[in-house]
Amino acid sequence: MALRALHDLPAPAKLNLFLHVVGRRDDGYHLLQSVFVPIDWCDTLHLERREDGRLVRHDLGTPLPADDLCLRAARALQAAAGVSLGVDIHIDKRLPAGAGMGGGSSDAATVLLGLNRLWGLHWPRPRLQALALGLGADVPFFVGGRPAWVEGIGERLSPLDLPPMRFAVVKPPAAIETRAIFGSELLRRDTQPAILASFLASDGLQRLAGGFGCNDLQPAAEAVCAEVGEARRWLTQRFGNARMTGSGSAVFARAGNDDASDRTRGSRTGESPAAAAPDGPLQGLPDGWTGRLCRSLGRHPLLDWAADPPGLA
């Protein structure tokens, strides 16, 4: 029997553990190297099938732009698949926008994965990812559904088996437009590319955990938005490390590994209360800031809603 609705679909945010700009394409897009990790700070979507072909969005929380990425994703898939069905998309927007956390891109990916199921399309993952790239450079990663080493403008993905990690993530009030940061004169675009195989062979995963690399977009973001530097200092004081994600303005710090010993560590060692705090909202943030203690996700909760070609699963 055909599905009528899919409820409580998560759209997780991502963090860029490092982000290097290694070149620029002729069309102006920048060539990146980065490790992207999904985290458990999410928007929630509900999809209800429509027989009349219309695509309608209903905002349950913070209002979104009229023709947002959810609608653009649904429209692109409807046209490419030649389906006459439509959808009501109900979205509870929880992720801060203009944060570098990929919220809009993740919403688009959740719509693609959800409609793949709701409309009974059974598209394989690479076909969805090719469509996703037309919606934004970050969208193929979320359709990919695993922590990944990311190259090109975001379309070349190599899944990584990372250990579970915890992060403190802080978003100051200011939002940053991605385009503005990539256009900055302060941006260095010539970081030496690493080779994934050599990186992994030389204890790369451990170097990642120890804070490998940097975010090349950070100096440009701190120059246009002082709050990025303030957030970095706030987190560094409490966790001893902090770095911007994507094009900002959110900043994150490693808050230990996600294992049982780590969850009790703070009380035993006298570590800062923030580092020992349970998951959920961070305490003591300046007015207007949002922040949470988050866990990395080893896989997107909807990963299985697109099939991998044999050999890639």
Ligand X SMILES: C[C@@](CO)(OP(=O)(O)O)[C@H](O)COP(=O)(O)OP(=O)(O)OC[C@H]1O[C@@H](n2ccc(N)nc2=O)[C@H](O)[C@@H]1O
Site of interaction with ligand X (CB under 6 A)? 16, 19, 28-30, 32, 100, 102, 105, 136-138, 153-154, 178-179, 182, 246-247
What SS3 state is found at 269? helix
Tokens of 232: 């970095």
CA distances from 84 to 15, 53, 76, 131, 138 (A): 36, 5, 13, 18, 28
Please identify which residue in 94, 155, 178, 182 interacts with ligand ADP, judged by CB under 6 A. Answer: 178
Site for ligand ADP (CB under 6 A): which residue of 17, 39, 55, 69? 69
Q: How far is CA 183 from CA 30, 154, 248, in A?
A: 10, 18, 14
Residue 99 binds ligand ADP, judged by CB under 6 A: yes
Query: Shortest distance, CB of residue 39 to ligand X, whole angstroms?
Result: 13
Pick one of 9, 35, 107, 109: the residue that binds ligand ADP (CB under 6 A): 107
148 binds ligand ADP (CB under 6 A): no
Alpha carbon distance, N-terminus to C-terminus of the chain = 27
CB 37 within 8 A of CB 147: yes
CB 258 within 8 A of CB 221: no
Whether 138 is catalytic is: yes
Q: Is 14 one of the catalytic residues?
A: yes
Number of residues in contact with ligand ADP under rule CB under 6 A: 19
Q: How far is CA 18 from CA 34, 70, 216, in A?
A: 5, 27, 8
Question: Is 65 a binder of ligand ADP (CB under 6 A)?
Answer: yes
105 annotated as a binding-site residue:
yes
Q: Report in angstroms how near the CB of residue 313 gets to ligand ADP at its nearest.
A: 28
Q: Binding ligand ADP by CB under 6 A: which of 70, 228, 235, 294?
A: 70
Q: With CA atoms as reference, report the closest residue to 124 among 287, 254, 267, 311.
A: 311
**Quick check: 97 binds ligand ADP (CB under 6 A)?**
yes
Which residues form the interface with ligand ADP (CB under 6 A)?
Answer: 64-65, 68-70, 97-105, 107, 175, 178, 246-247
Binding-site residue numbers are: 96-106
Among all residues, which ones are annotated catalytic?
Answer: 14, 138
